[in-house]
Structure 1
Amino acid sequence: MSLPTGDDEAARGAGGFAVHPELLFAFHTGKLGLGFDVGYRWRSHHPADLPWGDEVTLGPWLSVALTNALTLRIEAYAANVVDANVSGADFPVEALAGLDYAIGNWDLYLGASRGITDGLGDPAFRILGGVRYRHDAPRRQGFEDSDRDGIADKDDDCRNDGEDEDGFQDGDGCPEPDNDEDGIPDAQDECPELTGDRAHDGCPAKTYVKIEGGKVYIFGKVQFGLGASNIDRRSEPLLDQIGEALTANPDVGQLRIDGYTDNVGDPKFNRRLSEERAASVRAALIKRGVDGDRLTTRGFGEASPIAPNKSPAGRAKNRRVEFIITGDRK
């Protein structure tokens, strides 16, 4: 029911009483809700000079629960004047979007809308807000549900905390703030279903090394200082994993570390630089617990490029260190 607080002729509210009963059809699954409303608006006052009167109203809507308390709602609204000679283009059609925030039995809502057609009463733009009160539904005998999460208290391990319905252990009635149990709350976890660490935002550390079929595969690149043999700090995680992999796989015997450069500069200098870089990698792996007797080094300078040296990208690929298994462990 609405009260006569507006002006019919200016299309701002109603100049008379109005009653608007509706039938609501809704379906909810998890965090998603779908629905359709159809109703009839009776007006006590019909302006004589406007094709305005009683209306049939209808509108589909979609809701998404963003949290246990906050819900996004998107809907469309249309109205058709009954027994009026009005063309279809004059029917008001409006699109609305807003947020509902639940506090106990109260809902606060705020939204905005704009007209889609040029129908009578269609707004160019409007903002709406309000407060709603929802009375608790009567509890059915044998289905007590204190936290109103749809799981009966007798089956609910957390009767006062609603289930989070995130697809992980949703049947126990408890919210799981850390699905992968890695100590990082799901709200802050970039990989909530995979055990990780804080250094990688809750995701597993990237795998740089794989030993398979007697071969060492390196998914990364050892970085050095410009024109120098000192290892850049960015390569520490890669060297850590190479050291761990070699220590954990003693069946991988003798390993040769080959150094290469691009073709920029003096060839003799490049060869010496490649030898020094290979030696730096060997020293770094020994520091990480790898037996030095398993490791040998060679420097090839600018020989055997794997990409054309005509571009910066190609030269970057050629500045590399390779790991070659040369035989069984002595």
Structure 2
Amino acid sequence: MRLSLGTALLLATLLLPSPVAAQSSTAIALDQLDPSPAGDPFSGVPSPFVDGHLVPRGHASISYADAPLALAQGERQREVVGSQAILHLGASLSLWDRLLVAAALPLAVAQTGDGAAVPGEPAAPGEPAPGAPDSPAVGDLRLGVRIRALGEENGPVQLGASFGVHLPTGETDAYMGEGAVRVTPQLLVGGRVERRLVWSVAAGATFRSSGNPSTVIYGGGAALLLWDERLQVGPEIYAATPIQGGSLGLSDRTRVEHSRATRAEVLLEARVRPLPGTPLGSLMVGAAGGPGLGEGLGTPAFRVVGMLAWAPPAGRENAAAMADTDGDGLLDAEEACPYAAGPRSADSKRNGCPAEDRDEDGVTDPDDACPEKPGEAGAAGETSARRGCPLDTDADGLQDALDFCPKDRGPTDGKDTKPGCPAPPPPPPVTDADGDGLLDPDDACPREKGPASEDAGARGCPTRVRVQGEEVVLLEPIGWKGVQALQPAIDKRSMPVLEELAAVIQDHPEWARIEVQAHTDSTGDPKFNEMVSAARAEAVRKWLVEKGIAPERLVAKGYGASKPLADNTKAEGREKNRRVQFLVLERK
């Protein structure tokens, strides 16, 4: 701010007592940045927001103002206060989603200036110039209360009111206190628009008991919310206009008359939450800067601000999303056991739960010899070497659930017999096990009926079906009519191969469960391919049931393009991949 001795600037208060008004202040709180409570989106423009109940917030900001008070006489200029660096400490507490109480205290950590003496006025011997800043110094303590009268939290329009009182705790000889109480009522309007924009407008007045001129105060701000509300960027402007004129006491012998002049400041601010999704997700850092406008008291050439705050995200839902009730380092929203501390787990059902049990077999991982394979009932009572592992009673390396002979040791591959069963004795030298008229030694498929053939590899085998271990292979593909993909109809030309398949299944009553598999090539959407394959598998299953196969023996499963047999980039490869297969899952 610059004062011309002929045409004065805005001065909101007087520095020296008047003989007429003994209660008039002899000092002024020069800094015009009165930071908004912690959690507000703007530094100098308060908002009507009150988010949560019993939610504490706090902030610390450092403000540097350049040349907030200077005198000019012709070409000569004197900086009464050349710079101010002020630390603002504040805290607030929200109550019932409607009420906010707050407190703030400014501390001058560094000030420079020439003092209030005019050119040619001598200072006392050994004393600084009258009114020269002396830092560090404490400012006036501010206490405030706010109420949101209309609108809901996070709503686009909210209306509220606030009342603040500054107590005379500041040092009056360091431009940090007025030595008297001043009160500030304000009307507040603001809102949040679709998590993209936040805005605030405030208007009110500051009334002083010091005899300094009272002022009308007003301002507004708007900011974009980016990066899922982690980043906020936008401008704000706040200003004050004195209600009446007055004079400024610069020394014991010098006062300067001033007219009613408005002072204003513009700040461009950015704030960011650097650690979202963690217990420190409420931490916020910010920086702002901008010029002073007008010729009012305390208007700096420019101001820069740095801020560090602890402010939970706005809104009850966001605050709840940042909670960690059990203190295990995992947010309640992402863990399965928010009230019991536990480690992080890839399994969403066990994330944050104590004593992780990934296979959910009742044996916790530290005691589970097979932590990724669920054990059967009673497995926890086995020796520690097998605790939590699937039961293998005969210790043949095949768990009981897959072992057709759980009490008799046998090979696990099931190549010559059922998996886990001892090898059977050799069959009689002359038999016809499948009753197709061909003796087993001459029958390439002794367990499936088939016609005689000159081809030794196909003699006695079904002409369109082969049983290879646990897989039933179709030698002819199943065709489909050109109808809806999700309601497929089997082509009549495929009936012979399906009739032969049904006969083979009937000849193997030991096949307790058979999986009907359908596969597609990779053309098209994977999810759609999976649905098409599932529909085709179900269509084949229904056809077999209609042919007399017990429905509990058949399970339909669509795999889409997840298990290709050939290269999907070639036409012949895609044709091979479009297939129906059968797999024996369980034997009696």
Instruction: Please tell me the TM-score bracket, short chain as reference.
Output: 0.3 to 0.5
Higher relative contact order (CA 8 A, sep 6+): 2
- Larger of the two Rg values belongs to structure: 2
- The two structures have a TM-score, normalised by structure 2, of 0.21
Higher share of residues assigned helix: 1
- The two structures have a TM-score, normalised by structure 1, of 0.36
